[in-house]
Amino acid sequence: MAKTPAAEIRNIALAGHAGSGKTMLAEALLLRGKAVTRLGSIAEGTTAGDYEKEEKQYGYSLSAAVTRARMPKAEIVIVDTPGQSEFQGGMITGLSACDLAVLCVNAARGVELMTRKAWDWADHYGLPRFVAVARADQENVNLAEIIAQLRAAFGKKIVPFVAADGEGGSFKGVCPVLGAGGDPALRQEIVDCALEADEALMEKYLEAGQLDAADLEGLLPKAIREGKLAPLFILAAEKDLGVAELADAIAAWGPSPLEARPQAAPPDRPGEAEPLEPSEAGPFLARVFKVTSDAHVGKLCYLRVLTGRLEAKAQAILGSTGKPERINQLLRPHGDRREEVPEACAGDIVVVPKTEALRLGDTLHTAGMGRFPAPMPLPSPMCGLAVAPKARGDEQKLGTNMHRLADEDATFVFTRDEYTGEQLIRGMGTVHLDVMLARLRSRYGMEVLTSPPRIPYLETITRPAEGSYRHKKQTGGSGQFAEVHLRLKPAERGAGFEFVDAIVGGVISGPFIPSVEKGVRKGMEKGPVAGFPVVDLAVELFFGKEHPVDSKDIAFQIAGEMGFKEIVAQAKPVLLEPIVNMEIIFPGRYFGDISGDISSRRGRPTGTDQLGDMQVLRAQAPLAEVSDYSSTIKAITQGEGFFSMSLSHYEPVPGNIAGHVVAKLREAEAK
C-alpha cells in the first residue's frame, strides 16, 4: 500500500457514551472507504474494531481500536474509543493520538456522562470537535430537543451542518446546510461562528453584508481548528444515512497532522508548553498511546508520530530512560491486522512489536528533541480486590502476568499492601476487574482467588508509659543477657516513629543500642489491639544492663521487641483507620441521595461546587465505609455519576465501632 501524504491524513477519535453508535459509525466509514466488504455486527462480534475475545463477550469496546478507510480526498484513520466509564482510560489515551474528536451522541438519549467526559478531554488536548448525532432512526427521537440539549451543555459553537429529512422511524437522510436549498438560518449561524476566527474577513463581511462561498469554504477549517465552530451531523450508520456527509466534512475541513498543534514543553519546565510544528523534517518524536499483546507476536505498542520520521531498524531514544532503543519493525494497524511499513512519519499511527522497554505514555525521540508532550493525566483506579494464585507456587507467575496486564492499562494497578501484605488489584470498577481477570485466564491460563481487600488499619498510643524487660537465657554454653528500660510517648498524627538514645554512663554499649532499636521496630509490626503496625510514637531507651560474656546483638533485639510489646499495652493503644478525600460528580437531582448515603457512612461533607449542570460534592470518609463506593454510586445515579478518592490521613476508630472491627478481624483469623 502506497504511503499517504501527511496532508491527506485525518486522525479522528470517535468518543462518547456507551451505546452512542461509535463502533457502527466506524463500520459505516470503513464500508464507504471499501476497507471492509460488509458491515460488521456488534451482536455477532464481527466488527473490525472490537476484535478482542472479551469485547465480543461483553458487546462493547474495552480499549481504543485503530482502523482506517481511504476516501476520495483523504485517508481517515479511525480511533474508536470505549464509552463505558470503567474503561475511560482507553478514551483518554485514544484522544491523545488524534487531531479531531468526533463526539457521538445517541439520538434517543442525548447528553450522557461520557458525552461530557469526552468533550472535556477533547478540550484538555485542544482538539477541534465534530458532533455526530447517531442512531437517528430509533423510535422516540426528538432531534430539535437533542440539539438544544447539546448547545445548552457545550455552547452555541455547535451548529448543524445538515438538516434531517424526518426523524425516528421516518428518518430518510439529510440535506447539507451549505448546499443548494440549505436552511438559510442555519447557514447564517455557521457564518457567524466561523467569522470569529478571522478579523479581516469579519470586516469584509460587515462592509459587504455577505460572505461568498469561496471565502467561507476557506474559513471553515480555521474556525474548526480554533474551536470557534463544532459542526453537527445527523446519521443512521447501519442504513448508511448521513455517513457520506460526515466523511466528506472530515476530509474537507478536519485538520491534517501538519495543521494540528500538539502541546509540548521542556522536561524540566512543564509549564512552558508551546505548540509543536509538525513536519517530516527535523527531530523525530512519537508517543505510545496504547499497549496490548498478541498471542503470536507478543507485546505491541501503538505510537502516534507527532513530528519527524523514523525508519524501521533504526534507533530512537526512549524518553523514560534516556537510552537508545532499536526499532526493528514498524507496522500499520487496521483492527487486528497489521501491515509492515518501512518508515513512520509525522501524523502516522504505527505499531512497534516486541519492544519490552516501551510503556504506555512513553515517548520515542531522536537527539535534538528538546520538548515533550505532557503526561496523560489518567484517573486513579478506585475499586480493589485482594488476589492470590489458586495453584500453589504460582506467586511469581501471578506477579509477572499481572504486571503485563498493568502495562497495557494505566487505570489497572497491581501492588502489595505494605501493611496487610495482601496482593491487590485496583481498577475503575467491578466490570473492569472482571475483564482483567478474564484476560489473565485466557492469555496466561491462570486462575486466582479473590476477596475484598483488608482495610490497612494502624495502631497508636494515647498516653505515655514506661517499663523494663530483662532477657536471660542459659543453655549450657554461652548464654544470652540483655536488660532494657523504655519510655513510650505519643507523637503527632503522621509523625511516624522516633527512637531516642538517652543512655548515659555507658550502661549499654554503643553497638547494642541499634540492636534495641531493631527489636523495637520488630515489636511495632504487630500492635496489641488487632495486630496492625504501631505508628506515631517516640521510644526512648534511657537505662539498661549488659553482661560481659552473655550480652550480644540478638539478646538486645529480643529485649527491645519484648519490652516494647509489654509496655505498649500500658499506653492505652487505639486502632487508627484511613480517612479518604472524596470528590463525587453527579447530576444535581441525586444530591439528596448522595449526601445522605455519605453521611450514613460516617462521611463529612467538606464542600460543594457546580460543574456545568453536574453537582460536585467533596467529603471525607473512612475507607472502610466507602471501599465499595464504585458499585454504590453506579446504583444511585443509574451510571451517571463518578468519583475520585485519595488518602487524606488516619484517625482513631470510634470506640463503639472499634470493638466490632476487632471482633470481625479475630473471627476472620479463626477461620
**What predicted TM-score, i.e. pTM, was given to this entire model?**
0.84
Q: Is residue 313 part of a domain?
A: yes
Secondary-structure breakdown of the chain: helix, strand, coil percentages, each rounded to the nearest 5: 30, 30, 35
Outline where 162-242 has alpha helix (H). Answer: 184-195, 199-208, 213-225
Under-50 pLDDT residues of the chain: none
Q: Are 182 and 235 in a shared domain?
A: yes
Pairing of strands 324-327, 330-334: unpaired
Range of the domain at 309: 269-365
Q: Are 447 and 486 in a shared domain?
A: no
Q: Is residue 263 part of a domain?
A: no
Nearest to 142 by CA among 112, 170, 183: 170
Q: Are 294 and 416 in a shared domain?
A: no
CATH number for the domain spanning 243: value is 3.40.50.300
Q: Please give the backbone phi and psi of residue 346, each rounded to the nearest 5 degrees, phi first.
A: -45, 125
Q: Are 197 and 315 in a shared domain?
A: no
Nearest to 66 by CA among 13, 15, 119: 13
Determine contact, residues 256/46, Cβ cutoff 8 Å.
Answer: no
∠ CA 590-591-595, nearest 5°, is 120
What SS3 string covers 582-634? EEEEEEHHHHHHHHHHHHHCCCEEEEEEEECCEEEEEEEEEHHHHCCHHHHHH
CA distances from 301 to 13, 49, 286, 297, 635 (A): 18, 17, 11, 11, 36
Determine contact, residues 80/65, Cβ cutoff 8 Å.
Answer: yes
CA–CA separation, 232 and 226 (whole Å): 16
Q: Are 421 and 464 in a shared domain?
A: no
The residue type found at 292 is T
CATH number for the domain spanning 280: value is 2.40.30.10
Q: 569: which residues sit within 8 A by CB, 6+ positions away?
A: 528
The total of structural domains in the chain comes to 5
Q: Please give the backbone phi and psi of residue 433, each rounded to the nearest 5 degrees, phi first.
A: -65, -40
Q: Is residue 371 part of a domain?
A: no
CATH number for the domain spanning 490: value is 3.30.230.10
Q: Are 429 and 492 in a shared domain?
A: no
Helix, coil or strand: residue 664? helix
Q: Is residue 261 part of a domain?
A: no
Q: Are 359 and 487 in a shared domain?
A: no
Helix, coil or strand: residue 15? strand
Instruction: Give the three cell numbers for residue 656.
Output: 463503639
CA–CA separation, 236 and 168 (whole Å): 10
Q: Are 199 and 320 in a shared domain?
A: no
Q: Are 113 and 74 in a shared domain?
A: yes
Helix, coil or strand: residue 82? coil
pLDDT attached to residue 476: 67
CA–CA separation, 337 and 342 (whole Å): 17
Q: 534: which residues sit within 8 A by CB, 6+ positions away?
A: 458, 459, 460, 461, 523, 524, 527, 568, 573
Q: Is residue 259 part of a domain?
A: no
pLDDT attached to residue 354: 86
Determine contact, residues 30/48, Cβ cutoff 8 Å.
Answer: yes
Q: Is residue 389 part of a domain?
A: yes
Task: Give me the half-sphere count of Cα atoms (radius 13 Å) on the Cβ side of residue 331.
Answer: 20
Domain finish residue from 407, 435, 451: 451
Q: Are 447 and 464 in a shared domain?
A: no
pLDDT attached to residue 612: 66
CA–CA separation, 173 and 142 (whole Å): 15
CA–CA separation, 185 and 600 (whole Å): 53
Domain finish residue from 365, 397, 413: 365
Q: Please give the backbone phi and psi of residue 187, each rounded to the nearest 5 degrees, phi first.
A: -60, -40
The residue type found at 557 is Q
Q: Is residue 131 part of a domain?
A: yes
Tell me the DSSP string of 452-474.
PPPP--EEEESS-EEEEEEEEE-
CATH number for the domain spanning 404: value is 3.30.70.870
Domain finish residue from 517, 543, 571: 571
Q: Are 72 and 213 in a shared domain?
A: yes
Q: Is residue 486 part of a domain?
A: yes
User: Which uninterrupted H or E stretch holds 30?
Assistant: helix 22-32
Instruction: Give the three cell numbers for residue 595.
Output: 449526601
Q: Are 13 and 153 in a shared domain?
A: yes
